Amino acid sequence: MEQVVLYIVKIGGNVIDHPDHLQAFLNRFATIPGPKILVHGGGKIATRIGEQLGVVSQYIEGRRITDEATLDLVTMVYGGLVNKKLVASLQAVGCNAIGLTGADANIIPAIKRPVKEVDYGWAGDINTQSIHISSLQVLLQAGIVPVMAPLTHDGKGHMLNTNADTIAASLAVALSQRYAVQLMYCFEKKGVLADLENPESVIPVIHPQNFPELKKEGKLHSGIIPKIENALEAVSKGVQKVWIGDAADIEHTIKQKGYGTYIEII
């Protein structure tokens, strides 16, 4: 029997931080046919509210250090303010959504990141095989859209701050057992660019064979490489395809190929 297509769409701060862009995206997202899941990051909102509360964010190599105060902050902002505003906005456009963290229904248990060269604090790492997809299936079959905040839990009473790209990829792999999953990473560029100065220099397809060559030739910006590595791992573990592109192109992409960058096994 042919598997039902499930779209898992991840949006980041570049969409969330701009109300007009966000509303336009949510209007498009609501029109995606069939079951779908929205995974969101936190954007600059947590940093801004943290400054108001006297919680200063610390970063190492672009990654937030999650101490106790920061954990409280991101739990409030990601799991509360951002998540519930997204849900309310989706309800306003006729998309019946429910806001969740990885702790809800024990969907995404994780482990606190082991301390190596850097102590990232209460950051969570996911084992895909530990994800409980049954609760998500119940919601999807009922026509309810899960909206996942970038938070997991350790099973010992602690929330964990967890990368939204990783949550999206992990959910995609876990749910590929039951669905034909298409994972979509939405950001502000038209796709993966060979030249950051040229917005039209989109690389249409990246696969395991050409990825090393693209890296060697310096055609991939260092910031996009982890996202591509996540995507390549996802398709190697059963995800049908991964798309990286402009949030404004999501509707066109679903209807026809030709926009953004596809990560595929060929």
Confidence of residue 177 (pLDDT cuts 50, 70, 90): very high
pLDDT of residue 22: 93
Confidence of residue 112 (pLDDT cuts 50, 70, 90): very high
C-alpha 76/C-alpha 16 separation (Å) is: 16
Please check the confidence at residue 252 and state whether its pLDDT lies above 70: yes
Average pLDDT, the chain: 92
pLDDT of residue 57: 82
pLDDT of residue 204: 93
Confidence of residue 1 (pLDDT cuts 50, 70, 90): low
Please check the confidence at residue 195 and state whether its pLDDT lies above 80: yes
Please state the rounded mean pLDDT for residues 163-173: 95
By C-alpha distance, which of 110, 226, 87 is closest to 167? 110
pLDDT of residue 224: 86
C-alpha 60/C-alpha 165 separation (Å) is: 18
- Least confident among 38-42, 94-98, 238-242, 258-262: 258-262
Q: Which residues contact 185 (CB under 8 A, 6 or more apart)?
A: 10, 165, 168, 227, 231, 242, 243, 244, 245
By C-alpha distance, which of 62, 98, 94, 53 is closest to 79? 98
By C-alpha distance, which of 256, 259, 261 is closest to 244? 261
Please state the rounded mean pLDDT for residues 196-203: 91
Please state the rounded mean pLDDT for residues 186-202: 90
Please state the rounded mean pLDDT for residues 89-100: 98
Please check the confidence at residue 217 and state whether its pLDDT lies above 90: no
Please state the rounded mean pLDDT for residues 75-89: 97
By C-alpha distance, which of 257, 251, 250 is closest to 10? 250
